[in-house]
Amino acid sequence: MVDVVDEKPNEPEMRPTPIAASQSSARPKNLKYFATTLRANDSTDRRNLDDFQRAWTAFEAACSWVPVEQMTLVSGGTRWRSENGTDATFADTVAAAFEKAGSGGLSNSVLAMIVAEQITGRPGRLFKRSLSSYEEAARQWKKLGLTPGDIRALPLNVQFEIENMGGIPASARNVASRQALDAALKDPEVAYRILGGYRSGFSRQEFDEQLKGLNEGLAEADKVAAVRCSLAENRVAQLVGLRIADKALTASISIGNMDTANNVTVNVPGAQTTLTSMKDQMSAVKSQTLAMRSVGASGLMGSWMGSWMGFARRAGVMPRNG
C-alpha to C-alpha distance for 95 and 32, rounded to whole angstroms: 7
Summarised one tens digit per residue, pLDDT across range 221-280 is: 888 888 765 556 567 888 988 888 877 888 888 888 888 877 777 766 655 566 565 656
Q: Where does residue 138 rank: exposed (0-12), middle (13-18), buried (19+ CB within 10 A)?
A: middle
C-alpha to C-alpha distance for 33 and 207, rounded to whole angstroms: 38
Type of residue at 76 = G
Asked if 281 and 302 count as a contact pair (C-beta separation under 8 A), the reply is no
The mean per-residue pLDDT over the stretch 64-88 comes to 82
Summarised one tens digit per residue, pLDDT across range 173-200 is: 999 999 999 999 999 999 999 899 888 8
Summarised one tens digit per residue, pLDDT across range 19-65 is: 445 667 778 888 888 888 888 888 888 888 889 889 888 888 888 88
